[in-house]
């Protein structure tokens, strides 16, 4: 094909009609999508129950609930001697914790290193 053929195809009325049909088709699809979104929003507004202000959660009369800090200790496994009978899976209970006897939190001790391999002499 040469330039004259391209010019003749571009000037033909069939090309302009095809472009117009494609534009109108695209416009119809866009309008259909907009309509579907609006109908969907109306259906959601009718179906969904929006809670009234009195149905919203409120603070308790005593005020906001505060965080409680306590030191916990694990519920240890029972020790079984060599002569004793081993524990079976049905005899074990879920791992849980209980309030510790010592409620003083552990703190960094000045003579120890900060972490494993952190250098320093450690406790001496």
At 8, the pLDDT band (50, 70, 90 cuts) reads low
pLDDT at 93 over 90: no
Q: Give domain status of residue 111, yes or no.
A: no
Most confident of 45-49, 104-108, 111-115: 45-49
Number of domains in the chain: 1
Burial class (CB within 10 angstroms; exposed 0-12, middle 13-18, buried 19+) of 113: middle
Q: Give domain status of residue 54, yes or no.
A: no
Q: Give domain status of residue 65, yes or no.
A: no
Q: Give domain status of residue 87, yes or no.
A: no
Q: Give domain status of residue 23, yes or no.
A: yes
Between 115 and 100, whose confidence is greater? 100
**0.85 surpassed by pTM:** no
- Domain of 18, in residue numbers: 3-45
Q: Give domain status of residue 88, yes or no.
A: no
DSSP 17-68: HHHHHHHHHHHHHHHHHHHHHHHHHHHHHHHSPPPPGGGS----TT-SPPP-
Using CA atoms of 32, 38, 42, 48 in order, give the dihedral in degrees to the nearest 10.
110
């Amino acid at each position: 094909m040469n330039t004259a053929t391209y010019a003749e195809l571009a000037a033909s009325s069939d090309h302009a009609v095809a472009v117009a049909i494609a534009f109108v088709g695209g416009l119809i699809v866009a309008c259909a999508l907009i309509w579907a979104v609006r109908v969907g929003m109306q259906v959601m507004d009718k179906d969904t129950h929006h809670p009234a202000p009195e149905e919203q959660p409120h603070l308790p009369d005593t005020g906001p609930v505060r965080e409680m800090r306590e030191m916990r200790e694990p519920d240890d496994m029972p020790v079984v001697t060599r002569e004793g009978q081993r524990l079976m899976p049905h005899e074990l209970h879920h791992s849980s914790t209980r309030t510790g006897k010592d409620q003083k939190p552990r703190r960094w001790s000045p003579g120890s290193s900060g972490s494993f391999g952190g250098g320093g002499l450690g406790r001496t």
